[in-house]
Structures are given as C-alpha cells and as structure tokens.
Amino acid sequence: MSRSEFRRRIWQVVARSISRQAEYKVYYLPVTIYLALLWRSTWKTSVEQGGEYWTQIYTKSNTWRTFVAAHVVLWKYILTKASLGLLLVRNMTLAPRLAVDFVGKQSLALQDRFANRVEGVLDSTLDILAQKVKILLKDPYMPISIQVTIDDFVDILLPDLKLAVFTKTNEYIGSYRADVHTKRKRIDRDAVEKSAVDIDDMDSVLDALGDDDDSSVYSDSSDEENELLHFRGIAIRNNGKKRCQCKGLFRKGRSWVLYTLSPYDRTFWRSVKNPYYLLLQAIGLIPGVGMLWWFLVFLLHDKRDEYQLSQFIVGFQTAKFFSQGCFSLLKGAFLYYMCATRDVPHCEVNGPQARYQIEGLFFFLQIVLVWLTFFILPYSEPCKSVKDPKDLYLLDEDRNDRSQAALRAKVRLGRGGRLMNLFWWDTFAVVLVLALGSVAYIVVEQRSWQLRSTFYWLSTLYGLTSLPFVPFKLPVMGALLTPTKATGYTRQGETVIRVITQPPPSKQIHLGTRNRRASSSPIYAQPFSPPASWLSKKLVTVPEDSEAQAASNSVAAEISDSSSLASSVQLMRTIQHMQSSSM
C-alpha cells in the first residue's frame, strides 16, 4: 500500500467516525486540527529520517514512546511557528512606532532650525529698528547727555523686547505641534486619564457606602473639583474625600476671588466687563482698606508661580501709586486749600496729617509685603499645568526649558525678568523716605502737627515712587516684564497656563458689522466694489450677442451700486457662468 493510499484511508476513517456522531460537538474541530498537525509533524519527521524513524520506534512495541515522540515533534513545530509569529507581530507594531518617533525627531529638528532662522532674522530686524528709533527720538541740536540717555534707554528696552518676541515666536511655532504628539504620548496620557477616572469612580463608590448621617457636617466635592487637572506637570485629581464645610467655603471663596482677578480663559477687556472684577480692583484702591485687601490677596495667591508673583507685585505697586500717591496728593492739596482760604486758618487741625500708629503700621506692612514677594520670586518656577489636554504643547518640557534658558541667557535675565531691577528702585525709595523721616523726626518738634503733616507727605512721596511699575500693568507691556508664559486661575483655584478661548459668534466682528460701522467711523475701510467699466471690459467678451451685452451691463451697474464684497463676488461668478453658457 502506498503512502497516499494509506493517508486517504485514514481521512476516510476520520470522516466516517465524525459523520456517525448523532450531534456535532464544539471540540471536534480543534481535535481534528490537532490530529492533522500531529500527522503532518510525524510524517515530515519520518521523511527527514529516511522513512525509517517511526517504523523503528513502532517495531520495538513501544507505543507510549511513539506517542510522546510524536507530540514532542508537534510542540516543537508549534513553538517555532508561534515565536516567529510573535516576532512578526512585534515588528509590525514597532515599525510604525519607530517611524512616528523618527518623523517626530525630524520635525523637531526642522522646527528648531526654522526657529533659529526666524530668530536670527528677527534679531537683525529689531537691531535695525532700534537704530531707527534712536534716530527718530534724537535731534541734532539736542545735548549730548540727553542723546546718550536715549541710547541707553533704547538699549535697556531692546533685550526685553527681543525676549518677548522670541518667546511669542516659539509659542506660535510650537502651536503647530499640538496635533503631532507621538503615539506613545497619546497612550500615556490616555492611561493617566483612565487611571484618574478609575480612582474617581472608586471614590464615588466609597462615598456612596459611607454614613449619610454626617452629611450635615461634611460636604462632598463638586463635579468641577473632580475635573482632571494637570498640576505642575503631574495629572492629579481631587480624591473625593469629604471635607469640613468651613474648609469647603474657604476653598470656594479663594477660587472665586482668584478666578475673578486673574482668569485663565479671559482677556483683560473681557474681565473689565465683569462687575465683580471692577469691585475687587476698586477695593484695592481704597486707602487703608486696600492694604488689608492686598495682604489677603497675597495669602490667597499661588506663591510658587513666577508669573503670578510678578503680577502681584505690579498690581500692588500700581494700586499704591493711585491710592497712596495720587489720591493722597489730591487730598492733601485740597485740605491745604480749604484751610488756607478760611478767615482763620487752622491747618494744624484741618490740614493733612498722618496718624502715627495706623500710618506707620501700614507703611511697614507694605514694605514687608513687597520685599517678601521679591525674595520669593527667585525661587519660583514657570507653570507646568494646563486645563485642557489638547494644550499640552504649551507645557515647559525639556525642549522648552532649554529654549527658555537660552532666551534668558541672550538677555541675561533670571527669575522675575526685568522686575528684579525694579526691586532696587523700590529699595532706594524706602531708604530715601526713611532717611527724610528720620531727619524730620530730629529737626521738627515732636508731637506737633508739622511732624504729622511731614509724615503724611513722605507717605505720599513713597506712593508716587511706584510710578515705574504702572506701565507694566498694561496688557502689552506686561510681556516685557517677565519672559514666562502668562498664567491664570481656574474656577477651582488651580494655576494653569492662560489659554484665551474664542469669543461666541455674537461677539465676533463680521463683515456686515464692519459695513454698518463704515459709514460712521473712518477706522473701518470701505468694501471693495469693482467699477462697471472694468467689469464690462475684463469679464464680458461676447459683444456680438446683444442680449448678453445688455445683461452684463445691467449686472455691472448693479455691482457698481453694491456695497458688499460678497455680493460683488457672487455677481462676478454669475457673469462668468453667463459667458460659459453662451459659448
């Protein structure tokens, strides 16, 4: 009997045995496949051994040995194929990953080269612009000392301007990488978010299993507090633990105050339209009360963020200039005028005077508050937190840290930027006021109204010395003060990088709004309206057809009377369609 005949009979026996079964079982198919693989492995091994391997084993009447040998050969075959398949699958999954990493590295390298090229062009352009500004500000008949002062002033502002421009340029270029995250980063971020969601679900289950009798003493965290936040580069969540109501009220009050004063998703002009923002800013301008308010704001602020510390110093000094400086100056001048115009002047009673205890306490409190913030500023760090995961490209990762360090090195700035230079100006003002106050205390008679009036005007002078801080309160000038990214507070009181959201459609200026304002405001340009003669010459090319010529002339006249660019374009397309249809 030949081998093919033997194999055919074996398959007939197997098929006949399966067909005789009354009901088909699920395990018949894997058993059949397993027997087929066993037969194939035994036959292939026998062929490799010259057709005598299994015959020699079987003739020794050792059936068990034959069975074990056949299965050993089969499992060798299975393991070999399985390892080869796993290797292929691994290579198939690794190749796209390597390709994505390679493309990402090449993209970063290309972006670095592009950023360096742009920075070089901007650097040379700003240098040329600075020279032109110097020429425009100076006059040939101006004294040499004033010309040198102008040159020094421009040279001092130029590095800050370059740093601000370079930072914004890098952010603008980096924004194009928002959707080019590698697959590994997406997987890691999804895993972190999933783990945070699992933790939150577990906490909610534990809270549901808790005793309901404590609901009057404890309050659960809100859904907004359980929102995933990236704080300092680490994804964290509120763990859902119950807190005392007093702590909950304090946290909500702190979050509301910080979000109202410095929101992460609103511009300055949008914040101005908020009445609570104006109210909180007005409290800081009230003499006396404003000092206590700013002390409370200092306690509420995030003192680890460089940008928030810088903005606190600028805001506090600006409020001091207007309340303690300008307001006290106007108040003192008015009181002097009132007491001087009376029939019997009593400036010792009605004139401006300082109270020793209250004014002295507030004076030293504001000095300590400003100096403490300046001392904390070098130990602060840029924010590494975003509200929305899609804004992760704004984080100061390793590459951005190196870029930021290089930008700081170009202008030789540390933490706080140019604001640290104003610290010495404030120190000089404090020393000057204390020196003048000491002289007045020695020269002027003690406990007299002249001494109290002198202290009043020294306090006013100290408030007016905060004038250099006022320009940096403006939105545009604030970027020149510190090179860090602008930050703000969420509704939960967390510090994140500021990302301004798009305004609603009702707040956007459309073309129709511009046209309505164009008649009353010269700022808005008039919409483009092609002349009828130009349209008739350039677009209408079928003069022999009188009807088409008349239609085109009427359309051109309608365009000349139109005041909307969109309607003009539509009519131009109509003329082209008429030409194509006529041809």
- Indicate whether 546 pLDDT > 60: no
Average pLDDT value over all residues in the chain? 68
The pLDDT of residue 240 = 40
Instruction: Give the pLDDT confidence of 21-43 residue by residue, as tens digits.
Output: 555 566 666 767 777 777 666 66
pLDDT of residue 197: 47
**Where is average pLDDT lowest: 4-18, 339-353, 529-543?**
529-543
Better pLDDT: 171 or 514: 171
Please compute the mean of the pLDDT values over residues 523-533 and round it to a whole number.
42
Q: What Rg value do the Cα atoms of the chain yield, rounded?
A: 40
Note whether 378 and 499 are same-domain residues: yes
Last residue of a domain, one of 241, 274, 291: 241
Asked whether residue 229 falls in the same domain as residue 365, the answer is no
**Last residue of a domain, which of 508, 536, 551?**
508
Give the separation between CA 317 and CA 313, rounded to whole angstroms: 6
Give the lowest-confidence range in 17-31, 239-253, 410-424, 545-559: 545-559
Q: Are residues 218 and 301 in the same domain?
A: no
What single-letter amino acid sits at 37? L
Same domain, yes or no: 297 and 404:
yes
Mean pLDDT to the nearest integer, 174-197: 49
Q: Is the pLDDT of residue 559 over 60?
A: no
- Percent of the chain surpassing pLDDT 70: 54
Handedness of CA 407, 409, 412, 417 (dihedral sign): positive
In a domain, 433, yes or no: yes
Residue 115 lies in a domain: no
> What pLDDT is attached to residue 415?
55
pLDDT digits (tens, 9 = 90+) for 325-340: 899 889 888 888 888 7
What sign does the dihedral 239-245-246-250 (CA atoms) show? Answer: positive
Average pLDDT over residues 205-214: 40
Q: Read off the amino acid at residue 281.
A: Q
Considering only residues 172 and 412, tell me which one the structure prediction assigns the higher pLDDT. Answer: 172
Q: Which residues face 219 on adjacent strands?
A: 243
Quick one: average pLDDT of 511-539?
42
SS (H, E, C) 223-246: CCCCCCEEECCEEECCCCCCEEHH
392 and 270: one domain?
Answer: yes
Q: How confident is the model at residue 303 (pLDDT cuts 50, 70, 90)?
A: confident
Same-domain status, 357 and 274: yes
Co-location of 281 and 412 in the same domain: yes
- Joined together, the tokens standing for residue 299 give 């306690």
Question: Do 378 and 277 belong together in one domain?
Answer: yes
In a domain, 157, yes or no: no
* Residue 557 one-letter amino acid: A
**What is the value of pTM for the model shown?**
0.52
Residue found by looking up tokens 């997406």 in the block: 186
Characterize 227-260 residue by residue with b for buried, 16 or more Cβ atoms within 10 angstroms of its Cβ, and e for exposed.
bbbbeeeebebbebeebeeeebeeebebbebbbb
Q: Flag whether 222 is in a domain.
A: yes
Q: Helix 328-340 vs helix 449-464: angle between axes, to the nearest 10 degrees?
A: 150
191 part of a folded domain: yes
At 239 the pLDDT is: 40
Mean pLDDT of 464-475: 85
Indicate if 424 and 542 belong to the same structural domain: no
CB-facing half-sphere around the CA of 541: CA atoms within 13 A = 8
140 within domain boundaries: no
pLDDT of residue 4 exceeding 60: yes
Which among 47-61, 76-90, 375-389 has the top mean pLDDT? 76-90
Tokens at 209, concatenated: 């299993």
Give the residue-averaged pLDDT of 443-465. Answer: 83
CB atoms near residue 406 (< 10 Å): 13
Looking at the fold, whether 455 and 532 belong to one and the same domain comes out as no
Mean pLDDT, residues 501-519: 49
Counted domains in the chain? 3
pLDDT per residue as tens digits for the range 395-430: 544 445 555 555 555 544 555 566 777 888 889 999
Question: What integer pLDDT is reported at residue 150 of this predicted model?
Answer: 84
Query: Could you tell me if 302 and 416 lie in one domain?
Result: yes
Confidence of residue 431 (pLDDT cuts 50, 70, 90): very high
Q: Which of 276, 250, 247, 248 shows the shortest CA–CA distance to 262?
A: 276
In tens, the pLDDT along 132-171 reads 888 887 777 778 888 888 888 888 778 877 877 877 777 7
Other CB atoms within 10 Å distance of the CB of residue 55: 12
215 and 342 part of one domain: no
The whole-number pLDDT of residue 428 equals 92
Question: 28-48 vs 3-19: helix axis angle to the nearest 10?
Answer: 170
Q: Which residue has the higher pLDDT, 75 or 44?
A: 75
pLDDT at 528: 41
pLDDT value at residue 61: 56
Q: Does residue 108 sit within a domain? A: no
The conformation of residue 474, written as its DSSP 8-state character, comes to S
Find the distance separating the first CA and the last CA of the chain, reported in whole Å: 86
Q: Exposed, middle or buried, 341 (CB in 10 Å: 0-12/13-18/19+)?
A: exposed
pLDDT for the residue 530: 44
| 355 is a domain residue | yes
Domain ranges, residue 364: 256-508
What per-residue confidence (pLDDT) applies to 358?
Answer: 75
